[in-house]
Amino acid sequence: MEREQAMKFMYDLLRLMVSRRASDLFITVGFPPAIKIDGRRLHELARRGAPEALADEFRDTDVLVNNAGAIPTGDIFAVDEARWRESWDLKVFGYVNLMRAMYAHMRGRGPKVIVNVLGLGGERPQWRYVCGNAANVALAGVTKSLGGRSIDDGIRVVGVNPGGVETERMESIQRARAEKEFGDASRWREYFADKPLQRAASPQEVANVILFLASDKASWVSGAVVPVDGGFLHRQDWF
């Protein structure tokens, strides 16, 4: 029963993580032992020593889901070095440093799981998201590098590449784009016209895949990065 409660809590938490910014969350685990994590602390993971401190505080963690960072959109001329480094300090180096620190506590105490939430830009780069594309390519490489051997230490390392997900951030970005291009922010859903079923994923659909990968049902999956995009990655026609 406790395990079922844990998985239900994890699903509810994942829906929040996918749909909202981490800084908006105050996370509480409702079954013993009680755990509270102020989501605002997640932005501190960009600071040196912060990932290690967090890993030490929660050294008995069974599942780590890395899902932080809001990398700016824009082409290479729109994202200057300062913004590029700031976003990578949280998402790229924050992920890597927390994985390193948590892996050290998890090793030899399996089964444990690390799930990295990345993004489809790592597989299908686009001009207007160059900083995020590069970050996701890098983190996919780290995920595969670790996952190929981590299972020997009782740890599975896997990744998820969501495509477009209907979140507050997605709506905000697309509304701004529609206002600029159409002069009408309310037309933002028109950007989904060429997407599968003319929509984006729901946070629940992404959370379901993360939960599966984190569960014992995926016990033989490691080093894989799973796209969650309704097939969009392979949708383009040349003929």
Position 222 in a domain: yes
Position 175 in a domain: no
Position 185 in a domain: no
Domain assignment of residue 153, given as a range: 2-165+201-231
Position 16 in a domain: yes
Number of residues in the chain: 239
Orientation angle between helical segments 2-19 and 203-214, nearest 10 degrees: 140
Quick one: pLDDT at residue 226?
97
Position 177 in a domain: no
The two structure tokens encoding residue 192: 């989904």
Quick one: pLDDT at residue 178?
96
Tens-digit pLDDT profile for residues 48-96: 888 999 899 999 999 999 988 779 999 999 999 999 999 999 899 999 9
Say which CATH number the domain at 43 has. 3.40.50.720
Quick one: pLDDT at residue 106?
96
Position 29 in a domain: yes
Quick one: pLDDT at residue 20?
52
pLDDT in tens, the chain (239 residues): 455 555 565 666 555 555 555 444 333 333 344 445 555 555 577 888 889 998 999 999 999 999 887 799 999 999 999 999 999 998 999 999 999 999 999 999 989 999 999 999 999 999 999 999 999 999 999 999 999 999 999 999 999 999 999 988 889 989 999 999 999 999 999 999 999 999 999 999 999 999 999 999 999 999 999 999 999 999 877 77
SS3 content of the chain, % helix, strand, coil (to 5): 55, 15, 30
Calculate Rg over the CA atoms of the chain.
Answer: 18
Position 182 in a domain: no
Quick one: pLDDT at residue 68?
80
Quick one: pLDDT at residue 64?
92
Position 239 in a domain: no
Rounded distance between C-alpha atoms, residue 27 and residue 17, angstroms: 10
Q: Would you give the DSSP letter of residue 159?
A: E
Number of domains making up the chain: 1
